Amino acid sequence: MEKHEKIKTLTVELLKEYFELKDGCFYRIKSFYHKSRVNKKLKIHHNKQYDKVSIFGKSYDLHRIIFLYHYGYLPENIDHIDGNIVNNDINNLRACTISQNAINRRKRPNLTSKYKGVSYIKKTGKWLACIRINGKSTYLGSFDNELDAHVKYVAIAKENHGEFVNLN
């Protein structure tokens, strides 16, 4: 690549020409501006969501660059299997759809139940189980106790969401 050529698209070939990935960190192996930066670790910038790195003057999500480096392509969405968005180990990253990524989300902490897909209905004194399948909310039933509602949710979630299921 010429010294002043603008980078329009980051490719796996370009990434591997200028950087090496070791222990989850990128190291510069070639530089056309500053020879002193060769063999230096790229700085990781933290924001409210994902860790970022700056490559050729453009900011990228670290997990997306790691995925590109290993697999040679960038999917539309990448899921952190364990739900921890700072765990960018390649074994924790997988290509997914938007809905698969949503399925793998954890339960929101401010709900009435300790279980995902279960809520308490004060008016009836019952526990309601509900799940989203193919973008539609599906009623699973009303139960006398929280655990029974959770058991129903788990059975349906495993059946419909496969490897992306996250039960809490």
**37: three-class secondary structure by DSSP:** helix
For residues 131 and 138, the answer to whether their CB atoms sit within 8 Å is yes
Q: What is the pLDDT of residues 57-105, one digit of tens each?
A: 888 999 999 999 999 999 999 999 988 888 999 999 999 988 888 887 7
- Angle value at C-alpha 138, between 134 and 140, nearest 5 degrees: 135
Q: Which residue has the higher pLDDT, 35 or 49?
A: 49
- For residues 82 and 80, what is the distance between their CA atoms, to the nearest angstrom? 6
- For residues 49 and 95, what is the distance between their CA atoms, to the nearest angstrom? 18
Model-wide pTM > 0.85: no
Q: What is the pLDDT of residues 98-125, one digit of tens each?
A: 888 888 777 667 678 888 889 999 999 9
- For residues 72 and 154, what is the distance between their CA atoms, to the nearest angstrom? 35
Query: What pLDDT score does 36 carry?
Result: 57
